[in-house]
Amino acid sequence: MSQKSITSFFKITPKKESDGIVDRQKEDKSSADKSLTEDTSSSAAATKRSSKRLRSESVENEQPCASRSPSPVTSTKKKKVKRQRIESSGSEADLSKGSDEETIPVKLERNDSPKTYSSPKTKRNKSKLTKSNQDNVKTIEYNESCNQYDSPNEKSPKENKSPKSVKTPKKQRSPKERSESPEEKPKIKTEKKSPSPAKSATKAKGPMEKFMESNNMMRSFVKREKIVSSQDDVVAVHTMDASTHTLLPEVEYNPGKAKYHPVKDACWTAGQPVPYLALARTLEAVEATSARLKMVDILSNYFRSVIALTPQDLLPSIYLCLNQLGPAYLGLELGVAETYLMKAVGGCTGRSLAQVRAAAQRLGELGAAAQQARAAQRMLCAPAPLQVRKLHAALKDLAAITGQASVNKKISKIQALFVACRHSEAKYLIRSLEGKLRVGLAEQSLLQALALAAARTPPAGPHASCLDRADTMSPDDFKAVVEEHALVIKTTYCECPNYELVVPALLQHGALELPRHCRLTPGIPLKPMLAHPARGVHEIFSRFENEKFTCEWKYDGERAQIHVPGEEAPRLADARIFSRNQEDNTTKYPDVLARLPALLKPTVTSCVLDCEAVAYDPVNKQILPFQVLSTRKRKDASAAEVRVQVCVFVFDLLLLNARALCREPLAERRRLLREHFVESPGTWEFARAQDCSGAEEVQHFLELSVRGSCEGLMVKALHGERAHYDIARRSRNWLKLKKDYLEGGGDSIDAVVIGAYRGRGRRAGRFGGFLLACYDPAGERYQTLCKIGTGFSDRDLDAFTEQLQRHVIDAPRNYYSYETSQAPDVWVEATCVWEVRCADLSLSPAHRAALGLIDRDKGVSLRFPRFVRVREDKRAEEATSAEQIARMYLAQDSVRNNHTAHNMDDDDFY
């Protein structure tokens, strides 16, 4: 189409949106012509023709889809009409290679449909260039510093200040194309001239720049993604297909998809923060399945995408999956009561507290009620979507709010998060704030998923460029690789239970290098090794046949793990004492820390000791019951406030002078303990031990321990691999033999109180009975175990009634598993743990403990249970598990020979 035809077209075409662009160019015509006259010596006729070309080219340049090279005019004039270029896989990007006068497409928007007008020769050039460049694929890399994708092999024109502009390399143009542009040389020379800073600064961005900045069109042409983590400069480079793909909507994200691709099936792009909705969709998929292997596979797919695209979001993703804010020993807790959460939800959705409570009762949980209320809400201006990293940071800030008006501040912050929720985000946000995610995901399953993700999409190492390593090897070989990764990651986390150290090391060095970078460190508490119960002396010799073992007194106290850091000398001021569940109990035992120097010999610079803190009468030199120890102030005690003296019995040494000893046999650890530490009667003592070889010796030593106010014996292997300290394992290499076993009572059980029955007769006016449950970590549920009303004094009942009244709830939680016939008068939160004993265990259709592990329709119940004591050192999740209940049932002589062996790992991580 000739220039005259184009001019005629605009005269007869009604004004559209694009005509405003022409009007603006006409307004600038006089100034552009004046500038052109000052800088060139061309004739007036040439200037007029150039101005006409300029108008038509400007119309084209303002269209978002245009892809052109600069027209052959001087630099002063080009400043007004400079066009931006998009690298595209289509042939329109190559039209600039032809003659400028012959390739001037004009695009108009008619009913949102772009229409291009061009000359016949333009169409021929387009067809020719498309054929010659159809295989031309460019490499785009993500640049984190400017949040965009750039071409690493190309340079933008110097005068182009827009970060999105890309110049076509000269080498891509054929000689014939160069010969068709007689003005190319002056054009190239002019392009190398940079406009003055003043003029460039005042230049307004055209629609093309604004369009590209808002849409980032280059994301569709990624061939190679370079991800640079801002955390510890972790760098992971992954290669993917050069073919384009459409970004998946977040609401359609499905990590449970078969043959999941960590990049193509993700709902975010490289370098973008992970949307919280992606994690919520993952938790939905995990919650919807009961198969552990499927859970691991779903979560590992999500982790693979995070590793490949945004590795710096892996740590907050792990914390949100575990519903943790940080390491357990830091004591970070949200502390948001359910009533406050209901107020926050009601305030955001226009519902009263009674309406929110009624919805929660109807749906079984507040999270589901919150999701339903949020879905019915419409907003004129939607807030920014939630991101994984920002949500985790906001929850940490929420936990740090204390002091006056802290409740109102917390509610306000919760509301700000809640209004930004989309779809299932509201449900999982509220659950996180409640402290119970309840998707059936145990920490060991998460570690297995992390190992699978690291094996399949390695974050570092020789296979870091592979997105799916499973495709490069046989199934058996890949299974072996996954098992190796899982063992290394789980063992490393046991020795260094801090994800803030483990995850960065995993991303930077790979899974197999973790032991070199994450070691047992004083100040980071370990999960202790635990023992299995033995029902008699005969079981000890059956387990340790032809092996040497030792027997130690089992003290009735509280587990204490003492950490003393130091390099050249011990830093006693930084010493810490941790409980069995990794809580920092340092302020509970100021008297123990004060006499710590008396324990260490000069040869000790650092150490980690496993001990038992026991209430002790220094006058009578006698061990006191655990109930006496429980009367000590739990936190922030001063030496003057100590009323109950303690003696610390040391029985193991896990680290000495920066050397980890967990892989050393017990005989060597015990030798080093007695060589480098000093006993002090009544304050520091070694656990009383005896190496036994006969049943009579064991029986006699057990009777001595009972007379010494102990619970019984701990029996441990002395030599070989069985004598290692297995962190975070309940192992049969340690057996506990209690006096109750000899009386036929079996091991005690730590049960959780989930309900109460109102008392009658002499117990009227208070609770007279209670409903107890065990904990099922696989399903994150509490399964009813028995009713109990025996073993309580009147003082106990008064205290428990007052305590449980503070935890009464309107309806049972949806994670309480019970029979309606056993429903209590009052439901309570699962917070209190009691130690109980019983005559034996039996199958019962009235209770749900270990349901499905032994019988499909019956659970396990306790016969004649009686209350022993309160376990203040245990959380509800640390109560006796459903699997332990099943083991105890099967270990009974009456049923041992009547059931086939069940697939239960004796020495698995707990």
List active site positions. Answer: 554
What lies within 8 Å, CB to CB, of 180 at 6+ separation is: 98, 99
Locate 632 and state its tokens.
């000590």
Angstrom distance (rounded) from CA 73 to CA 35: 12
Distance between CA atoms of residues 614 and 242, nearest Å: 66
User: Alpha helices of 562-656 — where are they, by DSSP H?
Assistant: 590-594, 626-629
User: Strand, helix or coil at 214?
Assistant: helix
Q: Angle at Cα 116 formed by Cα 103 and Cα 16, nearest 5°?
A: 120
Helix (H, G, I), strand (E, B) or coil at 313: helix
Sign of the CA dihedral running 51, 52, 55, 57: negative
Q: Which pair of tokens denotes residue 546?
A: 């032809």
HSE-CB at 845 with a 13 A cutoff on CA atoms is: 2
SS3 292: helix
Taking alpha carbons only, the member of 760, 591, 755, 611 closest to residue 679 is 611
Closest CA to 319 of 256, 270, 262, 389: 389
Tally of helices (H runs) and strands (E runs) in the chain = 32, 28
DSSP run (H or E) holding 835: strand 833-837
Q: What is the DSSP letter of 564?
A: E
What's the distance, Cα to Cα, between the start and end of the chain in Å? 79
3-state secondary structure of 612: strand
Q: How far is CA 556 from the centre of its chain?
A: 37
Contact 809, 755 (CB under 8 A): no
Furthest-apart CA atoms within the chain: distance in Å: 121
> Within 13 Å, how many C-alpha atoms sit on residue 677's CB side?
29
CA–CA gap between residue 688 and residue 518 (Å, rounded): 34
DSSP result, 130-191 = HHHTTT-----EEEGGGTEEE-TT----TT---TT--PPPGGGS-HHHHHT-TTHHHHHHHH
Give the position of tokens 């510093």.
145
Alpha-carbon distance 822 to 522, whole Å? 48
List the one residue out of 376, 306, 324, 243 whose CA is nearest residue 497.
324
Half-sphere exposure of 668 (CA within 13 A, CB side): 15
**Mapping DSSP to helix (H, G, I), strand (E, B) and coil, where does residue 709 land?**
coil
Distance of CA 2 to the CA centre of its chain: 63
Report yes or no: 731 and 530 within 8 Å, Cβ to Cβ: yes
**712: region left, alpha or beta (phi > 0 left; psi from -120 to 50 alpha):** left
Question: Residue 451 and residue 456: Cα distance in Å, rounded?
Answer: 9
Q: H or E segment at 485?
A: helix 475-495
Q: What are phi and psi of 339, to 5 degrees?
A: -60, -40
* CA distance to 119, 524, 642, 873, per residue, from 589 (Å): 90, 18, 9, 14
Q: Using CA atoms, how far apart are residues 367 and 361, in angstroms rounded to an integer?
A: 11
C-alpha atoms less than 13 angstroms from C-alpha of 844 in its C-beta half-sphere: 21
**Residues 767, 802: Cα–Cα separation, whole Å:** 9
